[in-house]
Amino acid sequence: MKYNFVDNKNRKLMTGAEVCVQAAFDAEAKMMYGYPITPATEVFTGWIKRGGAYLQTEDEIAAGFAICGAILAGQKAFSATSGPGHILMQDAMSMAEGMRLPFVLIVGQRGGPSSGTVIYSQQEVILSCFGGNGEGLRLVYSPSSLKELYQLTRQAFNDAWQYRFPAIVLTDGYMLKTRGVVSLEELKIENIPPHQLVPEDKVTHWQNIYTFEDDLYYEINSAKEDFHKIADEIAKAEKYLTADAEILLVAHGIVGAVAKEAVQELRKVGIKAGMFRPITLRPFPKKELDKVCGWESVKKVVVIESALGQLARIVRDQLAPEIDVSFEYLQKPGLGIEVEEIVKFVNK
């Protein structure tokens, strides 16, 4: 794979898929297990072209459990998938959640149900955050730019191995195929090294199935406590012109980037709009959202997404019950959302 250098500062013209591949190499990932599926295939093929070790399994189920096995042996392994493949991965992801394995997955969301479409979609939010049986104790990152895609992919590997929770980088076909200039030299990120989770010198009984309900109850609550301890450290959000905002736009991913531009246009015509973009969907930046929505200036929250209320469901669930604001929803499942559409919706 060749990159086009646009100046002498190591700035590169890269697609989102190439950014993911570069981030995985820089994170010192050693193995990729996967099965091709649009729009995540270029992550898999890009990894292979760069000389990364890989195994194309018979399906995403096998790929997911191969990652679990590799991680137990101390290998920093990962995968990339989308839509139906993401669904098939949930069995292994649920196992990783139960065993606290640092399973890293890059997801290119597809429109659904079924195989759906392959470019615009934010319809895998609930699947990413709460898929599988269990309580959704996993880390989910939603980048809005190529630079952030690189940063959050690196962070996903680090957080997964440091805190021992599975991690998902949630992107889509639009971002994976977008080509832009990215400068990586300025991003200084140290890696959390992998380590063997199962010692070779003794037999280890590591439960994934619990015969007694009380044992499972204890394990879930122990993991929940750990998850809550790290939530404030991991949870992140971007706030834009929120100090005096009367209308707060809430969006994530590439829709969040569009919402930011819409705020600029609304301000030009005298509408005091602001934006809140959750960068992490799990753990959700609840305290920051509560703080912004709790200001007296905020009268209305507008949740904008390329889905039929998946982000809205999380926002309403996370917002403190004592905060009294009205909600409006701009929902276009499987479609891109333009700046002009947001401005028109708010003006109405």
* Tens-level pLDDT at each residue, the chain (348 residues): 343 434 445 788 999 999 999 999 999 999 999 999 999 999 999 999 999 999 999 999 999 999 999 999 999 999 999 999 999 999 999 999 999 999 999 999 999 998 899 999 999 999 999 998 889 999 999 999 999 999 999 999 999 999 999 999 999 999 999 999 998 877 788 999 998 887 777 777 788 888 899 999 999 999 999 999 999 999 999 999 999 999 999 999 999 999 999 999 999 999 999 999 999 999 999 999 999 999 889 999 999 999 999 999 999 999 999 999 999 999 999 999 999 999 999 998
> 4-234 has which CATH code?
3.40.50.970
Kindly report the CATH class assigned to 238-347.
alpha beta
Residue 164's pLDDT is 96
pLDDT at 9: 55
Its pTM stands at: 0.94
pLDDT at 7: 46
Domain ranges (residues) in the chain: 4-234, 238-347
Give the pLDDT of residue 3: 37
SS3 sequence of the chain: CCCEECCCCCEEEEEHHHHHHHHHHHCCCCEEEECCCCCCHHHHHHHHHCCCCEEECCCHHHHHHHHHHHHHCCCCEEEEECHHHHHHHHHHHHHHHHHCCCCEEEEEECCCCCCCCCCCCCCCHHHHHHCCCCCCCCEEECCCCHHHHHHHHHHHHHHHHHHCCCEEEEEEHHHHHCEEEEECCCCCCCCCCCCCCCCCCCCCCCCCCCCCHHHHHHHHHHHHHHHHHHHHHHCCEEEECCCCCCEEEECCHHHHHHHHHHHHHHHHCCCCEEEEEECEEECCCHHHHHHHHCCCCCCEEEEEECCCCHHHHHHHHHCCCCCCCEEEEEECCCCCCCHHHHHHHHHC
Q: Is the fold of 4-234 the same as that of 238-347? A: yes
| pLDDT at residue 12, rounded to an integer | 87
Model pLDDT, residue 6: 42
